[in-house]
Amino acid sequence: MHELELPRVDLQTGLHWLDLIGIVAFALSGALLAVRKRFDLFGVLVLGCVTAVGGGAIRDTLTGQTPPLFLRDESYLWAALLGSVLAFAFGERLARFERTISVFDTVGLGLFAASGALGAINFGLGPLGVIFTGALSGVGGGIIRDLIANEVPEVMYRRDQLYATAAAAGAFTVLLVHPYVTPFQAQASGAAVVILARWLSRRGWVRLPVRRLPGG
């Protein structure tokens, strides 16, 4: 098992642009929900930005990187603002393109799950810690979005589509492959597994069991 030789900041560089695309996508998902809930312009911007940066903030807090990356690198907040403004301006049109948004959302989920896993590996955490940090970095923004909008977090009840499970699978992939490939390749592999898992579950080829309590 050879070591991760690149310093932490370089881990991010390779996929920085894909990261920004993921942030725009997360911002769109949060801002569109706010538009639907009839929040005002600023509420839309806030929910969009918080959704976009939430996952990374969780990742950076858990792995001891203060301040979080989105405060150190302004391009993250600009990307989050861009996505939110787009959602406010073109919300009606984008609503018809929910599938397109969902694709971006999945890309963001994959990239953040993978970068969370890499950050945790880099920080020296054990395997469960890596998977936990990766999964939480991926789904964190969406959970915060749904909490603020007062909905049961989607990650929990949409059992017809893997979400947190896909993020955990991506983090697990990073954990498996990182000793043998570059960080860039590890992150890309993790993201690819997330996207594949989401696509398979959307097709109905993968399902998770549900338990009911008697009278529940």
**C-alpha–C-alpha distance, residues 29 and 38, integer Å:** 14
Which span sits near a second copy by CB under 8 A: 11-19, 105-113, 161-169, 175-183?
Answer: 161-169
31's CB contacts (< 8 A; 6+ apart) are 44, 45, 47, 48, 51, 83, 84, 86, 87, 88, 91
Residue of 24, 101, 155, 174 that binds a second copy (CB under 8 A): 155
Q: What is the DSSP letter of 64?
A: T
Binding mask 112-151 for a second copy (x = CB under 8 A): --------x--x-xxxxx--xx-x-------x---xxxxx
Amino acid identity, position 163? Y
Which span sits near a second copy by CB under 8 A: 5-13, 21-29, 58-66, 184-192?
Answer: 58-66
**Residues of the shown chain interacting with a second copy in the complex, contacts defined by CB under 8 A:** 32, 34-44, 46-47, 49, 61-64, 66-68, 70-72, 74, 77-78, 81, 88, 91-92, 95, 120, 123, 125-129, 132-133, 135, 143, 147-153, 155-157, 159, 162, 164-165, 168, 208-214, 216
